[in-house]
């Protein structure tokens, strides 16, 4: 087996196992280890407000590249 083939197998296994972390119960027998319903109820609106705030800030930013104004490096 070649190194490239081995790395492809490792990448395939790692990619297929990554979603399994979402179902880790951490001893609570609940998805993501959340054992009370209030946590997602509080977290969702908080993340939604943060998303709206970030998108508002991102829209207000100019799209100029900071490094365009710098002179080229000497050779």
* Residue extents of the structural domains in the chain: 3-69
E strands present in 1-75: none
pTM value > 0.75: no
Q: How far, in Å, are 64, 65, 69 from residue 73 at the CA level?
A: 20, 17, 12
Closest C-alpha to 32, from 44, 20, 43: 20
Distance (Å, whole) CA 49 – CA 41: 13
Per-residue pLDDT of the chain (75 residues; tens, 9 = 90+): 688 788 888 888 888 777 776 666 666 677 666 777 888 888 899 999 999 999 988 888 877 777 777 777 887
Distance (Å, whole) CA 58 – CA 67: 19
Residue carrying structure tokens 């197998």: 9
């Amino acid at each position: 087996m070649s190194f490239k083939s081995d790395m492809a197998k490792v990448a395939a296994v790692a990619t297929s196992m990554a979603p399994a972390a979402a179902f880790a119960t951490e001893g609570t027998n609940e998805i993501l280890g959340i054992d009370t319903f209030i946590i997602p109820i509080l977290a969702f609106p908080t993340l939604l407000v943060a998303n709206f705030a970030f998108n508002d800030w991102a829209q207000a930013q100019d799209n100029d590249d900071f490094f365009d104004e710098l002179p080229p490096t000497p050779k």
